[in-house]
Chains A and B, each alone.
Chain A
């Protein structure tokens, strides 16, 4: 594989994390326009951990993901009083606030005679873990897909469990869920925290893959895309948002001649799907049907 293909595949993998993060919240019925903030904050935190404090990569990812999860839970506790549109606007406001703060944060430390750290609007250079350890792009891609597989497996297990049903209950009728004896606020905070962690893992990987992050990358368009991936790919299973990412980054990247029209095609695709398949390609009904087909096949084999 040439570097270009590996880069595209790695991008698909890293963007998948933020898509899964937004998807988890979509399941609970919350539309967040702010998941890019956790992706971005974690990119900075993880970058700082390895570049400024010489931590190993796994610790960097852990620091980034935990920071994102904790901030998400705090923001969640403050904003979950709000419902529907108000929650969406609050998440957007928080994400913009976080991005603007990153634009002015300047903390530099000296590492091997060089100044490293976030430089406000100039971004955060020198997250060179990959080069220092001589890690190839292919190896890093494997790390991305390993962690992505782990995340997807966790989400699939959650979806099969009682917790998954509870999250979908919150998404379809909050009050009715509360009437079943579910402490809906606690489950929601758990969900925003987990969504923060997932976005955070993606952000931490992103910082180390590109070696350089800047606040501008974590703007609202990233969050809007993250939402769209779930809505395109489907809300019936965690594979849905992955299909969404593959369609956008993969397919649209492949047909390069539309280059300048990519956003138009993407926007049109979202609009068409929302009209004809409001809950995406792999929505709950199709997932049910697919499951039925597979279980019948297994029965036949047995």
Chain B
């Protein structure tokens, strides 16, 4: 469905993505994991047209979308939900949703589709008239997600949807992502919460300094020592020797 070929991205001469190739198939949740500054967001920004690719190409359903303006990428069916719960604070919840709903898609969650909103975003359904600035962090993230669905995308690019949320709210967001997949959406997910992401994703790519260093199915990666030690914070097996720990004087 989406194919990124040898993508390179630079900001003012500084290389953020060296060379990345990845693929997302219809109906999959694919995750990109990596440390801060590895270039995860830059990949999403290049796909959604916020930054032009410096080299390489991006294909969506066989057609090149590399370098198209953002609104044209959205029109093709790819929507990015940016990091940091970016919502339009001065607008009401409904206005936030309404303005983005310009293509009649499958998910149109406006007032006339209260059941849809109620089903996926119960927290928002009762707050349509409230100013978005007054929403809690979890609600704001739900609004950002709901707004992303308004233009009827076939593919979502989610950038750190659980960032800064309490574990309970983060769990809600992950639950929602899996429900969206069940509704037929394809999802490319960038996340810091590796353990939770791997439980959700079909496949994942590990990004380090602008290059893919590992990729595979979630199950394969979870059994990979390097990934487990680097991203899950569990020390490598040899240092797990209990006797050496006990030997330390208190």
Contact = CB atoms under 8 A, between A and B. Distances in A.
Interface of A: 162, 164-166, 168-169, 172-173, 175-184, 284-285, 288, 291-292, 295
Interface string B71-113: 1001100011010001011111001101111110000000000
B71 A181 contact: yes
B91 A169 contact: yes
B151 A284 contact: no
A181 B88 contact: no
15 contacts: A165-B88, A166-B99, A172-B90, A172-B91, A173-B86, A173-B88, A176-B86, A179-B82, A180-B74, A180-B99, A181-B79, A181-B103, A183-B71, A288-B92, A295-B129
Given A162-B99, A181-B151, 12 more contacts: A162-B98, A162-B102, A165-B96, A169-B99, A172-B89, A175-B50, A176-B88, A177-B99, A178-B69, A181-B75, A181-B79, A184-B71
Contacts of B129: 291-292, 295
Contacts of B150: 180
Contacts of A176: 82, 86, 88
A175 B83 CA distance: 13
Nearest to A284: B90
Nearest to B110: A162
A165 B93 CA distance: 11
Contact of A178 (B71, B96, B98, B133): B71
A172 B103 contact: no
A32 B100 CA distance: 26
B116 interface: no
Contacts of B103: 181
Contacts of B88: 165, 168-169, 172-173, 176
Q: Which of B79, B95, B98, B129 has the most CB of A within 10 A?
A: B95
A183 B151 CA distance: 13
B90 A168 contact: yes
Contacts of B79: 179-181
The SS class assigned to the A binding surface is helix
Interface in B101-146: 101-103, 129-131, 133
Contacts of B50: 175, 178-179
Contacts of B101: 162
A76 to B, nearest CB: 18
B147 interface: yes
Contact of B131 (A162, A177, A285): A285
Contact of B80 (A165, A179, A184): A179
A179 B48 contact: yes
A292 B134 CA distance: 14
B70 interface: yes
Contacts of A169: 88, 91, 99
B44 to A, nearest CB: 10
A274 B116 CA distance: 42
A284 B131 contact: yes
Nearest to A180: B100
Contacts of B91: 165, 168-169, 172, 284
Q: Which of B91, B96, B98 has the most CB of A within 10 A?
A: B91
A164 B88 CA distance: 13
A181 B88 CA distance: 15
Nearest to B90: A284
Given A172-B88, A288-B92, A182 B100 contact: yes
Nearest to B100: A180
A175 B82 CA distance: 10
A286 to B, nearest CB: 11
Contacts of A284: 90-91, 131
B131 A180 contact: no
Contacts of A173: 86, 88
A166 B130 CA distance: 17
A284 B101 CA distance: 22
Interface in B30-76: 48, 50, 69-71, 74-75
Contact of B95 (A168, A177, A183): A168
Interface in B127-179: 129-131, 133, 147, 150-151
Nearest to A285: B131
A255 to B, nearest CB: 34
B156 to A, nearest CB: 12
Contacts of B98: 162, 165
Nearest to B78: A181
Contacts of A164: 95
Contact of B151 (A178, A180, A288, A291): A180
Contacts of A183: 69, 71
B147 to A, nearest CB: 7
A162 B100 CA distance: 9
